[in-house]
Structures are given as structure tokens and as C-alpha cells.
Amino acid sequence: MNKKVEEIQNWYRNEREVFNYSIMDIGEKLKNLAEKGLIWVLKDLKDTTESERIVINYYLDKYRAVQIYDNLQHLFPIPPSNSQCAITPSKSSKKDTPLQNKQHTLKVRDSKQFFGYKKAKKLEEQIIELCKNFPSYEVDHIVGQIMRSAESIKKRIQIGEQIYIREKFNQYSIAIGSAKETSAWLQVSLGQKYITQNQFEELDTMVDHVIGILTRNLSNIKEKEGKGLDLPSPYTPNVKNFGAYDNALLLVEKIYEVTRKREFWKEKNLVSDMRKQATSCVANIAEAHQLYRKKKFRFFNDSLKALGGLESSLETSVSKGIISKESLKGISELRISIRNVLSANMGNISNEKAG
């Protein structure tokens, strides 16, 4: 590999570590490389995330005409890292790169031998089997969502088995969020009597076990290999103790109840929208309970957007004379209560140092 190419790739890896693998933060770095004709260097980088690949391909397409492929050794030097640990081609610096520092890297293991992966795989398999008995009209909604979130747990654990500590925290955070979302879909399924109480308890216990395993792993890494890195706390709050979550589940119950009325029988699209918006609200609240504040804020905001969409659909049902405004009073009160709690929490997050 061209030494300059390797230098740029190593510099980018280091920048990624500094910014906690946040695509929002490293996006400017990618744009800068694209403008200078060097984004192509990252095209075949093996350890990039899906989000990174999307951004890299976007900038490569946008700035394709200015990409420089020859005489790289004569180009300007790579700018220094914000952490003052940028990798340079000098022999002395290679010994000191964070990527080769044992305190900042992990030994890669076979994810399929990891107990947490095995648990996540078994959970996904049982959910797939369980979903075969769901009503056909839920195939594109609850079934699709719960299978997606369950698959995400396993997938993120597998991606997380790599050398980079911050990326492991990032992938495990997504896995934990997906696990909590899976639990939310299980609770929605129980509420609609698609599954039994015993089935719910068995699968929800498996979800808790996976979260516990991931949390313990991250805690050990933070205490040992992660010393000197500003890593987030691996301990996440229990979403079931969050008042807005219970109210969101109750909101789902009420939306399903009202949309089963005879007046809605000819309004399939409206019914589908209302149910998807209500369940999206509870799913996003659940997924928000993970490691990073920025992600928590984003999922809370997505939950607010779902509430806004639900409000619009409810207004449409009133305008069409399908249901009266008075009969929706309980739903409106729940929706406002959830919105107020989420808004207050988002305000607190904004006042804290971003995670």
C-alpha cells in the first residue's frame, strides 16, 4: 500500500477514536478529505461502519472530479489530530500510535463463541418462530419491527468484536438500544394478546440477560483496556422505570382500541398510520435508553415526531367525522403528558455535556 494512503487512513482512524465514532462529528473530516481530493483513500477501508460508508460514498460521488490519485507524496501534510496524537510517517511516531497502544486496543475474539452473541442469536430465532403466529395484518408492522430489532442485537454484537475500543462501545450501545426496543415490541405484542404472558416473560428475560452481558463486558473494558479514554458509563437506566414509557404503552393500547371500532373499518390507511405512530413513540423511547446522550436525544426527538404525526392523524379522523373530539380526550391527555416528559428530558440533555 502507498505510504501516503496508509498515513491518511491511520490519521482518519485516530480522528474517529477522538470523536467517539460519531458520524455527526467526523462528517466534517470526511468532507475536508473529499474537497482536497483524498476521500477515495477511505473507499476500501475495511473497518468502517455502515454510516461511514454512506457518507464516504456520498462525498466521493460529489467530489469525484477533484480526486487526486497520483503523486500523493507531494501533497500537503495531514492536519494534526485534535487529540494531538495524529499519526505521521516518521519511525518514532509509529511506536506511539494509539492503534498500537495496548491500553487503547482490544484483542479480537470469535463473536460466535461469545455467550452474549449466542444468547442474542437464540433470542432472534425464538422471536422469528413466535412471529409465525401473528395476524397477517401485522406482518408489515409489529412483526417486521420486532424481527428487525432482534436481528440488530446480534448484528451489532458481531460488528463490535474488533480492535477499536470506542467502536465496540458504539456498537454495543446500539445493541443495548435494540434490545430495549425489542422488549418494547414484546410488550406491545402482549398488550394485543399476540403472545402469552409466559412467552413474554421468557423472551423479556432473555433480553435482560443480553443487556447484562454486554454491560459487564463494557464495564470490564472501561476499567482495564479503556483507561485514559473518556468512555461513557456502560450502565443504562431501566426504561421500565421511566414514566413516559408506561404512558406510551397505554397510548398504544388506546389507539388499537379506538381503531378497532366499526367507524374505522373502511379507513385502513388511517388505521395503519395511527398504530404505527403510536408504537413508534414507545419503541423510540425504549431505544433511547442507551450509552450516549446524543443518541438518547435523537430517539426522544423521533418519539416526539411520532406523537406529532399521531396528533395529525387523530385530527383527520375527527375532520372526517369518524370519531368525536370528546371521545379522544383521554388519548390527548396521554399524548400531552408523554410530550411534556420527553421535552423536559431533552432540555436536561441539552444542558449536559454531550456524550
Of residues 159, 156, 160, 162, the one with CA closest to residue 175: 156
Query: pLDDT digits over 186-239, tens only?
Result: 999 999 999 999 999 999 999 999 999 999 999 999 998 888 888 999 999 999
Query: pLDDT digits over 115-173, tens only?
Result: 889 999 999 999 999 999 999 999 999 999 999 999 999 999 998 888 888 889 999 99
- Residue range(s) occupied by CATH 1.20.1440.60 in the chain: 107-230, 237-355
The hierarchical CATH code for the domain 237-355 is 1.20.1440.60
Cα 210 from Cα 186, distance rounded (Å): 15
Query: pLDDT digits over 69-120, tens only?
Result: 766 555 545 544 444 333 333 333 344 444 344 446 777 777 777 888 999 9
Fold of 107-230: de novo design (two linked rop proteins) (1.20.1440)
C-alpha separations of 315 from 29, 261, 302, 312, 318 in Å = 44, 17, 20, 5, 5
pTM of the predicted protein model: 0.72
pLDDT greater at residue 107 or residue 254: 254
